[in-house]
């Protein structure tokens, strides 16, 4: 006898999505619970794997004044939670000329003068679903320590919740991305293997493959995508693809 | 035990000469200091509005970091950081109501009651070493160097955090004497350089600097010594602008007091961070043959 789907056997619990009560299976993630309740994602959902940062969610528990956060695709529902997704929060991104820009704190400060509006309230760090020490990396940028800011912000997935809570109105995650770009391209020591790979690509190593893909129909592309070799879950550290094609 | 050290943002960039020379000197004098493992900008100015608690978060958080790192004492080099941290510390010590609100707001941190002692390094040297011992440690006395000790505001005002009596301060002159230099008295030693007014009201700021520089030159000082990056900006970096806009202001080399300390202790030139000083400062040191390169 085949088993009933999980949604039919799991216990139902009440949750509040944007204030409205729904009964959802207690085993679901917030993202699946929202879909179970009848919503359809056309934004605010990307990788479903905790990487893309599209699904930042805030919630409260009864009797607790604190704001709790999680990625909707990674966080399992709790009874009586009151939640909403904040998939996007407006935050301006400065444009700059990477080639001529100097990798120093003052250059970042010139593009983002609001950096100096930080009062160290720490709301950004408290709201980060990735446990990034946001306030600390902003402090590091302010004193021009780009290497430290890079290190502290490395786990950022750009969900934007920090910007939503900032009383200084900083776009922290854009600032951090700029810092990592500056660090990666201008401060990190060069490595031979990366240089060799960059040269290989610049010399047109992938050009033929790309041209082939461009000519394919959508159906052909779908077939190719589905048939591709994937790294299995919990693969051992030394797992290698069978074919080196495309590497 | 190592003493906690709070650098402040400017000391990691433009005022690297203040940090480098101070840390090298402290080490040469046998003091072990340890930079706080985590710190943020101190906020630079102590907020005076009675209901503006939010601007106390930054300095208080730094004090909490010092306490959590196990430090009973926290040394600062920049006098603005000293002032902001010391005043925030007093607030946490004595204002029960504000302390409660701030601790409640920062519930993710340990509660703080003003336990850490905030010290400016000049005061620290006086207390922990004393001028006699400092004199004994000097390897290259700054003989014949006439230095105007410039306190500015934040080491002496307000009285609650003054490192000594603001009415007749002597500490800076005593320090310079211990280095073998000749401190010169000048009437503007505790005047305000106009601080951040240089951004909002440039002409008034340049005028304030002109007055200080004129007074120091009139006392035939060879150089001006100070401990604040904002003062250094107004009186050192912007000195060319002051001269071009105001009559009778001669060229006056400026130094952080810790640079003079490092020179007197015989430390090598690379600990001085001279690339951050104006050219006239380097010239003066060359003229006096004060520079050595490490072997
Ligand atoms: S959908 Fe990509 S992180 Fe949740």
For chain B, say whether A178 makes contact (Cβ under 8 Å).
no
For a pLDDT cut of 70, what percent of chain B falls above it? 99
Q: Is A111 in the pocket of ligand 1 (CB under 6 A)?
A: no
Residues 176 through 205 of chain B touching chain A, CB cutoff 8 Å: none
Domain ranges of chain A: 6-85, 89-218
Residue B293: band (very low, low, confident or very high) from pLDDT cuts 50, 70, 90:
low
Tokens linked to A20: 């409205």
Cβ distance B41 to A118 less than 8 Å, yes or no, reads yes
Domain spans, chain B = 3-122, 139-288
At B79, the pLDDT band (50, 70, 90 cuts) reads very high
How many contiguous H segments (helices) and E segments (strands) does chain A have? 11, 5
* Spatial distance between the Cα atoms of A163 and A170, rounded to a whole number of angstroms: 6
pLDDT at B26: 98
Whether the complex's predicted ipTM is more than 0.95 is answered with no
| B70/chain A closest Cα distance in angstroms | 20
Ligand 1 contact, A43 CB (< 6 A)? no
Residue found under tokens 């080490």: B27
Q: What is the DSSP string of B39-75?
A: -----SS----TT--GGGHHHHHHHHHHHHTT-SEEE
Of B13, B58, B108, the CB nearest to A143: B13
- CATH class of this structure's domain B139-288: alpha beta
Residue A158 Cα to ligand 1 midpoint, Å, equals 11
**pTM for the model:** 0.91
- From A137's Cα to the closest Cα of chain B, the distance in A is 9
Q: Distance, CA A53 to ligand 1 centroid (Å)?
A: 5
Cβ within 8 Å of residue A169, ≥6 positions away: A114, A117
Judge: B40–A139 Cβ closer than 8 Å, yes or no: yes
Question: Across residues B79-85, what is the average pLDDT?
Answer: 98
Phi then psi for residue B148, to 5 deg, are -90, 115
Average per-residue pLDDT in chain A?
A: 94
pLDDT attached to residue A244: 75
Q: Edge to edge, what strands does the sheet with B33-35 contain?
A: B33-35, B3-6, B73-76, B117-120
For A98, the token pair is 């990477």
Mean pLDDT of B45-70: 96
Q: Which atom of ligand 1 is nearest to the CA of A55?
A: 4
A109 lies within 8 A of chain B by CB: no
Closest C-alpha to A33, from A57, A4, A54: A57
Taking residues A217-239, report their average pLDDT.
90
CB of A45 closer than 6 angstroms to any ligand 1 atom: yes
Q: Measured between beta carbons, which residues in chain B are less than 8 angstroms from residue A123? A: none
For residue A9, is pLDDT > 90? no
pLDDT at A5 > cutoff 80:
no
* Residue A246: predicted pLDDT: 65
Indicate the fold that domain A89-218 takes in CATH: Fumarate Reductase Iron-sulfur Protein; Chain B, domain 2 (1.10.1060)
| Cα Rg, chain A, nearest whole Å | 22
For domain A6-85, the CATH superfamily is Beta-grasp domain (3.10.20.30)
pLDDT of A1 strictly over 80 = no
Quote the DSSP letter at residue B118: E
Q: Which atom of ligand 1 is nearest to the CA of A46?
A: 1
- Residue A52 in contact with ligand 1 by CB distance below 6 A: yes
- Asked if the Cβ–Cβ distance from B9 to A144 is below 8 Å, we say yes
The residue ranking higher by pLDDT, A33 or A238, is A33
Q: State pLDDT tens for residues A57-67.
A: 999 999 999 99
Q: Do A143 and B55 touch (CB under 8 A)?
A: no
* Chain A nearest CA to B64, separation (Å): 13
DSSP assignment of B168-235 equals S--HHHHHHHHTT-EE---TTTTS---TTHHHH-HHHHHHHHHHHHHHHHHTT-SEEEES-HHHHIII
Chain A: closest CA distance from residue B7 (Å): 10
Pairing, β B33-35 against β B3-6: parallel
B292 confidence band (pLDDT: 50, 70, 90): confident
Question: Among B7, B9, B105, which would you mutate to test the A interface (most chain A Cβ atoms within 10 Å of its Cβ)?
Answer: B9
CA distance A147 to A182: 9
For B3-122, CATH gives: 1.20.1050.140
Residue B153: is the preceding peptide bond cis (ω within 30°)?
no
């Amino acid at each position: 006898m085949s088993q009933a789907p999980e949604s039919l056997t799991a216990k139902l619990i009440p949750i509040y999505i944007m204030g409205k009560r729904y009964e959802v299976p207690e085993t679901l993630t917030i993202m699946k619970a929202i879909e179970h309740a009848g919503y359809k994602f056309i934004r605010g959902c990307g990788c479903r794997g905790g990487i893309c940062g599209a699904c930042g969610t805030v919630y409260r528990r009864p009797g607790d004044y604190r704001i709790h956060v999680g990625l909707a695709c990674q966080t399992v529902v709790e009874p009586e939670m009151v939640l909403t997704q904040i998939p996007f929060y407006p935050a301006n991104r400065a444009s700059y000329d990477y080639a001529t820009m100097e990798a120093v704190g003052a250059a970042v400060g010139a593009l983002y003068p609001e950096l100096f509006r930080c009062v160290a309230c720490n709301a950004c760090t408290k709201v980060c679903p990735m446990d990034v020490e946001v306030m600390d990396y902003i402090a590091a940028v302010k004193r021009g320590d780009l290497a430290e800011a890079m290190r502290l912000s490395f786990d950022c997935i750009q969900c934007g919740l920090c910007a939503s809570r900032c009383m200084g109105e900083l776009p922290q995650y854009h600032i951090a991305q700029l810092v990592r770009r500056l660090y990666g391209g201008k401060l990190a020591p060069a490595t031979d293997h990366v240089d060799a790979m960059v040269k290989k690509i610049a010399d047109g190593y992938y050009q033929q493959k790309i041209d082939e893909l461009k000519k394919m129909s959508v159906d052909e592309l779908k077939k190719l995508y589905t048939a591709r070799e994937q790294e299995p879950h919990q693969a051992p550290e030394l797992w290698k693809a069978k074919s080196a094609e495309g590497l | 035990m190592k003493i906690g050290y709070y650098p402040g943002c400017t000391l990691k960039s433009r005022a690297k000469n203040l940090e480098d020379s101070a840390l090298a000197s402290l080490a040469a004098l046998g003091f072990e200091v340890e930079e706080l493992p985590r710190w943020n900008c101190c906020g630079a100015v102590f907020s005076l509005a009675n209901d503006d608690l939010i601007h106390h978060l930054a300095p208080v958080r730094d004090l909490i970091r010092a306490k959590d790192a196990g430090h009973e004492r926290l040394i600062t080099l920049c006098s603005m950081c000293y002032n902001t941290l010391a005043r925030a510390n007093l607030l946490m010590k004595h204002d029960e109501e504000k302390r409660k609100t701030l601790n409640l707001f920062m519930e993710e941190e340990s509660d703080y009651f003003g336990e850490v002692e905030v010290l400016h390094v000049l005061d620290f040297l006086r207390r922990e070493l004393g001028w006699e011992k400092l004199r004994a440690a000097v390897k290259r006395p700054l003989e014949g160097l006439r230095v105007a000790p410039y306190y500015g505001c934040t080491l002496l005002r307000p009285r609650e955090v003054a490192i000594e009596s603001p009415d007749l301060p002597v500490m800076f002159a005593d320090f310079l004497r211990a280095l073998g230099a000749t401190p010169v008295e000048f009437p503007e030693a505790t005047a305000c350089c106009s601080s951040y007014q240089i951004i909002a009201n440039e002409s008034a700021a340049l005028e304030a600097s002109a007055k200080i520089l004129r007074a120091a030159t009139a006392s035939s000082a060879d150089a001006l010594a100070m401990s604040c990056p904002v003062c250094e900006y107004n009186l050192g970096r912007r000195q060319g602008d002051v001269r071009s806009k105001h009559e009778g202001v001669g060229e006056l080399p400026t130094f952080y007091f810790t640079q003079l300390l490092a020179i007197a202790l015989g430390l090598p030139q690379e600990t001085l961070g001279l690339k951050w000083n104006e050219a006239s400062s380097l010239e003066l040191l060359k003229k006096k043959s004060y520079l050595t390169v490490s072997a």
